[in-house]
Amino acid sequence: MSTGLLAFIALIPILVALVLMVGMRMGAMKAMPIAWLTCAVAAIVMWDLPTSYVAALSLQGVSSAASVLIIVFGALLILHTLQYSGGMETIQYGMQGISRDMRVQGIIVGYMYGAFIEGAAGFGTPAALAAPLLLSLGFPPMASAVICLAFNSFPVSFGAVGTPVLVGLGTSIRGVMEAAVASGDFQSVEHVLKTIGEAVSLFHVPMAFIIPIFMLGFITRYFGPNRKWSDGLAAWKFCIFAAFAFSIPYLLLAWIVGPETPSLVGGLVGLGIVMYGAKRGFCVPKDVWTFGDDSKWEKEWTGEISVVQGREIKAHMSQLMAWMPYIFIGAILVITRVESLPLKAWMNQYGVIAFRDILGYKGVSDNSIKLLYLPGTVPFMLIAILVVFMHGMSGDKVAKAWKDTFVKMKAATISLCAAVALVKIFQGSGVNPALAEQVAAGTAKYLPSMPLAMASAMADIFGSVWPVCASFVGGLGAFITGSNTVSDMLFGMFQWNIAEQLHLSRIVIVAAQVVGGAMGNMICVHNVVAVCAVVGLLNREGEIIKKTFWPFILYGIVVGAVAYILLGVSYFAF
């Protein structure tokens, strides 16, 4: 069977997901199980894999998805707990009195606050939280949605305490990373992931400077009273100030600590610095820019929620008390991830759950669920419990926070389990246990795995221009699945294989995949629907994607240029 035909068949489950989720607007909870079933049938019929082996791979996927789900649960729990305790509203209240200039407000809320929330929670949360806050500050609903979606890009690769890198790639390319460690190229799998994270940070940092300036110009051009790019570009000094405030801790943590804390701490530190500077007028434009009288706004800017009728936000506690849970989260994550401290080794040693040789197939095992080391348990669940006492929550509010979290987990659980099961079939399709003895005897050989077949076909088509294409593949994955993490699960091995086919740095190409998954958050249906729901723009998703498509394209072009630069850096030569 030709590699081209195998590549086309391997692509069918992804096309099924694309058609169902984008063309038919089916939710991931329904679409991903159908895509998994399509993949399972292809593996059994075309790759001739035993049905029981496909079932074992699928169960391996479900067990691997558990780690992601614990992180998602913990992130949602701390978020809902703070919403019911009044902590989140207090944080929002504190941002209202910083500056009357809406360009400054857009940077503080959309960029800094969004980056911090992405680092802590991820999974579409930042735009859904930041956009209503901008709405309450007087932004047109459409403008608030567009700017928050665009800013929810460069922090995403290290979002939810590094989940896209640590879990997305940790699930997708663990086998080849272990081989790289065995060959002596790296000290450990964690070392490979940290090196990829370092490259990811270098991809993102240019856009951390470019995208805020571009988006302010974009917003004033299409939503401002004067319809001028120059109105937004006039705030370039404040954008540069904000970019430095975020990027310095972001880079330092990516290179010194690892992929878990750059966005979380970078956003938190940057937010504090930028709010302090804005209050004192540092780099703030002399003129105060606003969207003008809302009676003169164009009809398509608004939706079901009236800006002037927005709910009044008030403080329920001191700002320090409201921020304290996130300060604790940042501190705990840092001290438990530093190699020189004993906590990391201790937390990796205890509370480990592992499933080995699933359904009797040797080597079909999960990567172990480290309950203490997973951020979903420590610090998220731990801090959520402490908030009950810190903020004096009543029992009924605590119960509501936990109930809301469990309800929100239903869709995530089904879609993630199906997605990771699909990924495991992708990965395992290159080894057929029924042919093991014949392969060992030299009388038969395995078919190339699904990602390897696709990589071979794509390498023949695109060749040396692949560094430009790599991030757009990651963006497509996020567009389809609504997740940088799942995009990395789907395409991580594919990107690794294509880098090998083209003799390019696997570190750089896989990093470009991760960055592409992050920039795909601007246009992914899941995020756009979530934002539209909270700002009253339901059924207007297409209009928003048309606008966020342009910063998405700009991002991909810059990432492609940076890829060629990094391919020439010996540090990333592997």
In this structure, is residue 331 part of a structural domain?
yes
pLDDT computed for residue 310 by the predictor: 46
Question: Of 17-26, 69-78, 542-551, where does mean pLDDT reach its minimum?
Answer: 17-26
Mean pLDDT over 529-547 rounds to: 80
pLDDT computed for residue 24 by the predictor: 82
Q: Which residue has the higher pLDDT, 98 or 496?
A: 496
In this structure, is residue 329 part of a structural domain?
yes
Parent domain of 444: 3-290+312-572
Q: Which residue has the higher pLDDT, 398 or 124?
A: 398
Residue labelled with tokens 């939810």: 160
- The count of structural domains within the chain is 1
What six digits make up the tokens of 333?
């994550």
Q: Which residue has the higher pLDDT, 347 or 197?
A: 197
SS3 at position 352: strand
The pLDDT tens digits for 299-311 are: 888 877 655 444 5
Residues 156, 265: Cα–Cα separation, whole Å: 13
pLDDT computed for residue 486 by the predictor: 82
In this structure, is residue 303 part of a structural domain?
no
**Nearest alpha carbon to residue 241 among 201, 291, 281:** 281
Q: Which residue has the higher pLDDT, 453 or 541?
A: 453
142 within 8 A of 120, measured Cβ to Cβ: no
Phi, psi angles (nearest 5°) of residue 42: -60, -40
122 pLDDT more than 60:
yes
Q: What is the largest CA-CA distance in the chain?
A: 79
What does pTM read for this prediction?
0.79
> What's the chain's average pLDDT?
89
Q: Which residue has the higher pLDDT, 326 or 519?
A: 519
Phi, psi angles (nearest 5°) of residue 59: -65, -35
Residues 274, 241: Cα–Cα separation, whole Å: 8
pLDDT computed for residue 30 by the predictor: 87
In this structure, is residue 304 part of a structural domain?
no
pLDDT computed for residue 311 by the predictor: 54
**Torsion (CA) 419, 422, 423, 428 in degrees, nearest 10:** 160
349-355-356 Cα angle (round to 5): 105
CA 508 to chain centre: 18
In this structure, is residue 299 part of a structural domain?
no
In this structure, is residue 258 part of a structural domain?
yes
The pLDDT tens digits for 449-505 are: 888 888 888 888 888 899 999 999 999 888 876 789 988 988 899 999 999 999 999
pLDDT computed for residue 308 by the predictor: 46
pLDDT computed for residue 39 by the predictor: 95
Phi, psi angles (nearest 5°) of residue 45: -80, -50
**Nearest alpha carbon to residue 394 among 329, 318, 316, 314:** 316
SS3 at position 370: strand
130 pLDDT more than 70:
yes
Question: Of 32-41, 195-204, 371-380, 492-501, where does mean pLDDT reach its minimum?
Answer: 371-380
In this structure, is residue 195 part of a structural domain?
yes
521 within 8 A of 149, measured Cβ to Cβ: yes
SS3 at position 538: coil
As a residue count, the chain comes to 574
104 within 8 A of 129, measured Cβ to Cβ: no
The pLDDT tens digits for 155-212 are: 999 998 898 999 899 988 998 999 999 999 999 999 999 999 999 999 999 999 999 9
Mean pLDDT over 144-151 rounds to: 94
pLDDT computed for residue 161 by the predictor: 84
In this structure, is residue 328 part of a structural domain?
yes
